[in-house]
Amino acid sequence: MLFTQVRYCQAMADADIDAMRELVSEDKVFTLMGGKQQTREEYFADVANGSLTYFTIGIENPVIDVRGSHARITYTSVLNADAYGVRGTFRMGGTHAYEKRDRQWIAVNE
Return phi, psi of residue 5, to 5°: -65, -45
CA distances from residue 18 to 13, 62, 90 in whole angstroms, order as listed: 13, 25, 25
Q: What is the pLDDT of residues 8-24, one digit of tens each?
A: 999 999 999 999 999 99
**Percent of the chain predicted with pLDDT > 90:** 92
How far is the C-alpha of 95 from the C-alpha of 19, rounded, in Å? 20
The CATH number corresponding to 2-108 among 3.30.70.20, 1.10.260.40, 3.40.50.2300, 3.10.450.50 equals: 3.10.450.50
Q: What is the pTM of this model?
A: 0.90
Q: Where are the domains of the chain?
A: 2-108
DSSP per-residue codes, 14-73: HT-HHHHHHHB-TT-EEE-TTS-EEEHHHHHHHHHTTSEEEEEEEEEEEEEEEETTEEEE
